[in-house]
Amino acid sequence: MLRGARHYDLGSVNGTSVDDTVIAGVELKDGDVLKFGDAEAQFVKGDSA
């Protein structure tokens, strides 16, 4: 069973931020907003089917 999701920045030029905090690695929570350079995505935790 998957308990959570993690995201790591592997040394990208523009960096990665989660909820406007620059990160190297973080455990994601439902609703977190990730930014990769000019792109933005929201993490949504889904239920198992």
Q: Show me where the domains of the chain are located.
A: 5-42
Between 46 and 36, where is the model more confident?
A: 36
Residue 29's nearest CA partner among 7, 1, 9, 14 is 7
**What is the reported pLDDT for 1?**
52
What is the phi/psi pair of residue 21, to 5°?
-115, 120
Is residue 43 a contact partner of residue 28, using CB atoms and an 8 Å limit?
Answer: yes
14-34, pLDDT tens digit by residue? 899 999 999 999 999 999 999
What mean pLDDT value characterizes the chain?
A: 88
CA 21 to chain centre: 11
Residues in the chain: 49
Rounded CA-CA distance 41/49 in Å is: 23
